[in-house]
Amino acid sequence: MPKITFIEHDGTKHTVDAELGSTVMETALRNDIGGIVAECGGSCTCATCLVHVDEAWFAKTGGPSAEENDMLDSAFEVKPTSRLSCQIKVSEEIDGLVVYTPSYQGR
């Protein structure tokens, strides 16, 4: 099972198992990771599951789709490696992924 490390804005680190085929957002919610709201439940319509992908991992996750990039307009403190975590699928490819959760998701 792939592992994902979430680092909260205060530095708290969680390394958790992620189910293949689920999303990084679902993995965060199942593990009570702070800073992920996911108001729309994974429909790419609310921009409240923003994460900053660790630069070393950005080539693996890739950048946002056009639809996701449009939604990123409704997020805050968007960086070049920011993604909506509901749009990152868990695969063996991203085993070991490191993402940072923001201090604020716009509520």
Partner 1 sequence: MSETIKTDVLIIGAGPIALFAVFELGLLDIKAHLVDILDKVGGQCAELYPEKPIYDIPGIPYITGHGLTEALMKQIKPFHPTFHLNEMVTTLQKTGEPLFLATTDRGRVFEAKVVAIAAGGGSFQPKRPPINGIEPYEGKSVYYAVRKMEMFRDKQLMIVGGGDSALDWTLNLQPIAKRLTLVHRRDEFRGAPDSVNKMRALVASGEMDMKIGQVTALEGDDGVLTAASIKTKDGVDRIECDAMLPFFGLTMKLGPVADWGLTMEEELIPVDTAAFETNIPGIFAIGDINTYPGKLKLILSGFHEGALMAQKAYHYVYPDKRLVFQYTTSSTSLQKKLGVA
* Piece of the chain touching partner 1 by CB under 8 A; list 10-18, 20-28, 38-46, 87-95: 38-46
Kindly state whether residue 41 participates in binding partner 1, applying the rule CB under 8 A. yes
With CB under 8 A as the contact rule, the residue among 5, 31, 69, 91 that binds partner 1 is: 69
Kindly state whether residue 76 participates in binding partner 1, applying the rule CB under 8 A. yes
Distance CA 40, CA 56 (A): 29
Instruction: Measure the CA dihedral 98/3/71/10, to 10°.
Output: -50
Closer CB to partner 1, 19 or 77, in the complex: 77
Closer CB to partner 1, 94 or 105, in the complex: 105
Closest among 1, 12, 11, 3 to 57, alpha carbons compared? 3
Please work out the total of residues on this chain that contact partner 1, with binding judged by CB under 8 A.
21
Residue in the block written with tokens 């804005």: 9
Closest among 68, 80, 76 to 102, alpha carbons compared? 76
Residue 102 beta carbon to partner 1: minimum distance, rounded to whole angstroms: 9
Integer Rg of the chain from CA: 12
Contacting residues toward partner 1, per CB under 8 A: 39-41, 43, 45-48, 69-70, 72-78, 103-104, 106-107
